């Protein structure tokens, strides 16, 4: 079991050092391709709401079980040959499920473009990390979108995969990444995916439930450690987190908003359709590129705290379970 903890920590360090090298194969790319193929196949077989719901459940099960099983099989085979290769390969697999470096780099690039006054390029970059329309965004909206995405993905792309890596090794971390990829590709509440994506969306909510609350605690610790307003962050969590459409995303977003004195949420546009998301946090400061810097600082601190603290937490839970 301790090897899972070691692989999780090493994997996190690998991500911090090298991120996602473009020349190396990335498992999530292949997971995405398999989801796209199964999406097309399902629509050829059925078009009824009930049939699409059943197909969506089948896709979710097949992709998650397949991702776990293939990863576990490869690692088992390598482990029969060489323990140290098994250790390092597992750590690399964990690193592919984590994206702290990628999140920070993406947010930092947007900040640099805003500071340079290149709003057109900044809008294009924001469009790479959010699903909403960016063509008409002003500078404040770009800052808000970047901070919201960074905050939400501290859970989805850092704490949650590390939690599952500690709990069940690289294979379980990859299974979680499959769940998250399913949600990002199919979990939309629109006409196209309302039925096919329902299972993926519910599964992602379930898988992220515990990690999201751990992310909230990690962000509170990061706020305290960095001298930011952790008390206001607590109030924002209690008051505003439940306003978010997701049972999980509202926690890191509300804590982030409270800690750095901004108000997240508000008017968004998706495919030309205006949508309003309830506000989180208090508008104590106008949006500035500096808020992206603060969000990235919080991201790194919370991620480091999670990487060091999750093995201790998971081991403690295992000890408690063994007692009963």
Residue pLDDT, tens place only, 46-92 = 999 999 999 999 999 999 999 999 999 999 999 999 999 999 999 99
Report CA-CA distances (Å) from 167 to 22, 46, 88, 158, 161.
Answer: 29, 37, 18, 14, 10
Percent residues over pLDDT 90 in the chain: 86
Give the Cα separation of 90 and 58 in Å (integer): 28
Higher pLDDT, 324 or 226: 226
> DSSP of 110-179, one letter per residue?
HHHHHHTT-HHHHHHHHHHH-SS--TT--HHHHHHHHHHHHHHHHIIIIIHHHHHHHHHHHHHHHHHHHH
Give the Cα separation of 61 and 50 in Å (integer): 17
Helices (H), 208-249: 209-225, 230-240
The confidence score (pLDDT) of residue 26 equals: 84
Per-residue confidence band for 1, with pLDDT thresholds at 50, 70 and 90: low
Report CA-CA distances (Å) from 54 to 33, 48, 182.
Answer: 20, 10, 15
Give the Cα separation of 241 and 155 in Å (integer): 14
pLDDT tens for residues 127-167? Answer: 999 989 999 999 999 999 999 999 999 999 999 999 999 99
The confidence score (pLDDT) of residue 323 equals: 65
In 3D space, the residue among 321, 7, 301, 309 whose CA is nearest the CA of residue 165 turns out to be 7
In 3D space, the residue among 41, 17, 15, 316 whose CA is nearest the CA of residue 157 turns out to be 15
Per-residue confidence band for 195, with pLDDT thresholds at 50, 70 and 90: very high
Give the 3-state secondary structure of residue 253.
helix
In 3D space, the residue among 186, 188, 183, 240 whose CA is nearest the CA of residue 208 turns out to be 183
For residues 203 and 60, is the Cβ–Cβ distance under 8 A? yes
Give the Cα separation of 89 and 94 in Å (integer): 9
What is the distance in angstroms between the CA of the first residue and the CA of the last residue of the chain?
A: 19
**DSSP state for residue 195 in the 8-state scheme:** T
**Mean of the per-residue pLDDT values of the chain:** 94
């Amino acid at each position: 079991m301790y090897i899972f903890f070691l692989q999780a920590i090493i994997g996190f360090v690998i991500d911090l050092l090298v991120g996602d090298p473009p020349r190396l194969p990335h498992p999530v790319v292949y997971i995405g391709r398999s989801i796209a193929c199964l999406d097309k196949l399902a629509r050829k077989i059925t078009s009824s709401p009930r049939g699409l719901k059943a197909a969506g459940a089948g896709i979710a099960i097949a992709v998650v079980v397949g991702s776990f099983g293939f990863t576990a099989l490869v690692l088992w085979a390598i482990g029969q040959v060489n323990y140290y290769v098994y250790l390092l390969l597992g750590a690399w697999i964990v690193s592919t499920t984590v994206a702290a470096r990628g999140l920070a780099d993406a947010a930092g690039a947007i900040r640099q473009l805003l500071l340079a006054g290149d709003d057109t390029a900044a809008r294009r970059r924001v469009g790479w990390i959010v699903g909403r329309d960016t063509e008409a965004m002003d500078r404040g909206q770009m800052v808000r979108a970047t901070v919201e995405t960074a905050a939400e993905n501290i859970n989805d792309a850092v704490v949650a995969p590390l939690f599952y890596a500690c709990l069940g090794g690289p294979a379980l971390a990859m299974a979680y990444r499959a769940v998250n990829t399913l949600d990002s590709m199919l979990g939309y509440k629109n006409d196209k995916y309302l039925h096919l994506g329902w299972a993926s969306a519910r599964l992602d909510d379930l898988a992220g439930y515990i990690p999201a609350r751990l992310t909230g605690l990690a962000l509170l610790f990061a706020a305290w450690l960095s001298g930011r307003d952790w008390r206001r962050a607590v109030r924002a969590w209690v008051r505003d987190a439940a306003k978010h459409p997701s049972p999980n995303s509202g926690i890191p977003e509300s804590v982030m908003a409270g800690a750095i004195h901004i108000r997240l949420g508000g008017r968004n546009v998706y495919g030309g359709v205006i949508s309003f998301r309830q506000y989180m946090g208090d508008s104590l400061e106008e949006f500035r590129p500096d808020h992206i810097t603060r969000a990235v600082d919080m991201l790194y601190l919370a991620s480091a705290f999670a990487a060091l603290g999750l093995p201790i937490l998971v081991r403690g839970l295992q000890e408690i379970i063994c007692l009963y």
